[in-house]
Amino acid sequence: MIVAETNRLFILQFTLKDAPFFLELVNSPNWIKYIDDRNTKTVKAAEERIQDGHLKSYQSTGFGFYKLLLKAENNKPIGTCGLIKRDTLDDVDIGFAMLPDYEGIGIGYEASKEVIKLAKQQFKLKRLVAIINPDNKKSIKLIEKLGFTFEKLVKPFADDEELLLFAKTL
């Protein structure tokens, strides 16, 4: 299901058929370095993550992480961007990640702008946050370009890693 469209992208909900792409994405170097490494090594494991994460989020909140398709490359899946309501955060969190060949070319900005618009107009959210690994300078720069400002350090996950929390009023 197409959720939104930009000049270069189709933004769609994930389905279980996206497991091979999702497997590639979650095993890309920057995903493992800055987001997580849950040892997702098979298509079946990727399907389970899509089922337990993305699909459940769409059902419970109406939103979630979306797949990004690049129009110029035959609608090739190249990344993800979306919204998640984490139990450990008061506000909805925006996140994004691209395959290595598509980092640094404005895709994250373009997709995030559209997802922020959805958050405000469709989901009537008043505020968004972003949690970022302090070493992820590119994501910090992008989130600041989107108008988010640093608020505080947080430890939202069981691993006790401190992350930067940025926020934006919509």
Residue bearing tokens 């990004």: 68
pLDDT in tens, 17-46: 999 999 999 999 999 999 988 899 999 999
Sheet containing strand 65-70, edge to edge, reads 2-5, 9-13, 65-70, 76-84, 92-98, 127-132, 163-169, 149-154
pLDDT tops 90 at residue 133? yes
Among candidates 144, 164, 146, 145, which has minimal Cα distance to 154?
164
Angle, alpha carbons 114-96-8 (nearest 5°): 45
pLDDT tops 90 at residue 117? yes
pLDDT tops 90 at residue 160? no
- Identify the structural domains of the chain with CATH numbers, from first to last: 2-169 (3.40.630.30)
